Amino acid sequence: PEKSSLWQAYDLIKTKKFVDLTHSFSPDIPHWKGFEPENVTTLFTFEKDGFWAQQFCHVGQWGTHVDPPGHFSEGKRTVDLIRPEEMLLPLVIIDVHEACEQDPDYVLTMDDVRGWEVRHGQLIPAGSFVAMRTDWSHRWPNTDAMD
């Protein structure tokens, strides 16, 4: 039987390079000082229960996560209202890591956006996910460097 277009897309995607941008959770990962550290409790063990399960307690904005519009603006959509198809988007990365080395509080500007468009010979495609490359990941997991 002929493959559906979804399987064809998967066959193409699986040949591409995947980049994991996540960090492992732990109680001592850098986090905003207003949040308590993560608490991990082992609820079941192989020896006693035949399986292993842990309970993780932390705020929703812990580690790698999605900040929906409702995180910053009252009345806007929360993550449960974001449709799955909205989570797979073309990625545009605007590299401002050199500016961030000079100013750790650097804010992306329209000149940065226009610079990307000039370098790539196109406007940022509508519906793209635009990410700002800061290289702050190199500071991980040094809590002092993250402040």
Give the model confidence (pLDDT) of 17-76 as tens digits. 998 888 887 888 888 888 898 999 999 999 999 999 999 998 877 777 788 899 889 999
Residue 106 has pLDDT above 90, yes or no: yes
| pLDDT of 31 | 82
Of 96, 94, 95, 66, give the one whose Cα is nearest residue 81: 66
Report whether pLDDT(117) > 90: yes
Q: What is the percent of the chain with per-residue pLDDT over 90, rounded to a whole number?
A: 59
Angle at CA 20, nearest 5°, toward 118 and 108?
Answer: 35
Cα 120–Cα 122–Cα 5 angle in degrees, nearest 5: 100
Numbers of helices and strands, H then E, in the chain: 5, 4
Q: What pTM value is reported for the model?
A: 0.71
- The rounded distance, in Å, linking the Cα atoms of 63 and 137 is 12
Q: Which residue has the higher pLDDT, 95 or 62?
A: 95
Quick one: pLDDT at residue 145? 86
